[in-house]
Amino acid sequence: MNRRQPGQRNDALNQTIQEIKATAEAMANLGLADSASQVQAKLNEALYGTQTVDDGVQLTASDGQTREETCGKTGDANSKSRTGDSLKIDVMCLCALQSVGQGAQVCTDSTTATMSINPTGDTDLAEDWRKLKTGCRKLAPTAKLSAASLKATVAALTAYIAAGRTADAKTNFVLGKLRNNGNDGCKATADGADGACVYYGRGTGAGLRHQIKWATNLEEAAEEMEKAEKAAAHAYVLYQKLNILNHTLGKAAAAPTQPIAQSAPRQTQKTPAKELREEAEKECNKKETEPECKTPCKWNAEEKDEKKRCTLSEEGEKAEKE
């Protein structure tokens, strides 16, 4: 049997080491941490209006800013409106205590989210906002967040907001309760039965616009998330490739006199796509529950074979071919 000369063996080892380094660098260049930070920043902008967590929220101010000016009034230019700037503002327009006849609950009488702060002057409603955040988490199921699910949610929300909301269905871009046909603003007053609502219109006539920044931020978060999901799928494939290369290197070191397959000079060895795909598929198949079945895998609850409910996704397949 022909044996490798020391120089040939070293060339093969060096070639494998170089491919390991190149693969590791490719993983680092995917920027997964940066992608995650960008997604979180956009989600925070949608929720809080800032890139970091900020629970502070006011509907009124001592300089004369009223709840109606903050939350909107149909037919007005709403130059001081803050609706759509963040979900935090919109939720408090809907759920903060009534501005006149104070003390009445607007959204809920639940003891876990009972509002307690009167929205007057420069009062910060952060405590009540935190109650609502906690209460919403208890009411809504914990769904797996993905680019697709986020896009679908934003589309459904914006379609609902755009629909007619008054008795004659002629006033749209409103959330909550408007009095009559929307002639009164979103004051949330008990004595006049004015609405606890959010009106997204700004400007009048030909200049009327419906600005919802949090929807735009959520859409941008979904786009960043989509990029991150593709990068994660690619990273998983590269991870599998590293495992195979490390295994090859280990075998070469343990049995240095055994022949080692060597590619043509100056060419980098490539792990066959089929082998990478099979390894990735096996890793996916090991996941037994939907929460464990994460990108680049996908979950199929209807699959009869319990060991194949978690399989390699189409994105994962594509990433391996790149």
* CA–CA separation, 35 and 43 (whole Å): 12
Non-local CB neighbours of 165 within 8 Å, separated by 6+ positions: 171, 172, 174, 175, 178, 182
Lowest mean pLDDT across 132-146, 248-262, 296-310? 248-262
pLDDT at 48: 97
Q: Which residue has the tokens 């949330």?
A: 188
- Section 221-225 average pLDDT: 91
In a domain, 103, yes or no: yes
Same domain, 199 and 64: yes
- Does residue 45 form part of some domain? no
285: nearest Cα among 239, 316, 320? 316
Q: How many domains does the chain have?
A: 2
Q: Which residue has the higher pLDDT, 228 or 248?
A: 228
Beta-carbon contacts of 140 under 8 Å, excluding residues fewer than 6 positions away, are none
Question: What is residue 122's predicted lDDT score, i.e. its pLDDT?
Answer: 95
What is the average pLDDT score of the chain? 79
In a domain, 308, yes or no: yes
**Pair (85, 181) in one structural domain:** yes
Give 153's pLDDT tier (boundaries 50, 70, 90): very high
State which residues form the domain around 79.
Answer: 57-211
The stretch 270-284 carries a mean pLDDT of 72
Q: What is the DSSP string of 254-312?
A: H-TTS----PSTT------HHHHHHHHHHHHHT--STTT--TTEEE-TT-SSGGGSEEE
Residues 206 and 227 grouped into a single domain: no
Q: What percent of the chain has pLDDT over 70?
A: 73
Residue 278 located in a structural domain: yes
| Beta-strand runs (E) in the chain | 174-176, 197-199, 201-202, 209-210, 297-299, 310-312
Q: Are residues 130 and 168 in the same domain?
A: yes
Say yes or no: 242 and 167 in one domain.
no
Whether residue 42 lies inside any domain: the answer is no
Highest mean pLDDT among 77-86, 172-181, 200-209, 227-236: 77-86
Instruction: Return the residue matching tokens 């697709």.
Output: 148
Model confidence at 266, pLDDT cuts 50, 70, 90, reads very low
Same domain, 246 and 152: no
- Say if 48 falls within a structural domain: no
Is residue 268 over pLDDT 50?
no
Of the two residues 298 and 12, the one the predictor is more confident about is 298
71 with 186, same domain: the answer is yes
Q: What is the mean pLDDT of residues 55-77?
A: 93
Residues 207 and 66 grouped into a single domain: yes
Of 182, 211, 240, the residue at which a domain comes to its end is 211
Last residue of a domain, one of 211, 242, 269: 211
149 and 68 both lie in a single domain:
yes
Residue of 167 and 227 predicted with greater confidence:
227
- The better pLDDT of the pair 256, 310 is held by 310
- Domain annotation covers residue 20: yes
Helices 213-254 and 147-162, packing angle to 10 deg: 170
Which of 18-22, 82-86, 285-289 shows the lowest per-residue confidence on average (mean pLDDT)?
18-22
pLDDT average, residue stretch 75-92: 94
Same domain as 61, residue 206: yes
Confidence of residue 303 (pLDDT cuts 50, 70, 90): confident
- 151 plus 289 within the same structural domain: no
The predicted structure's pLDDT at residue 1: 45
Domain end: 192, 211, 230, which one? 211
Task: DSSP letter for 97, please.
Answer: P
Contact criterion met (CB below 8 Å) for 97 and 106: yes
Q: 310 and 275 share a domain?
A: yes
- The answer as to whether 40 is a domain residue is no
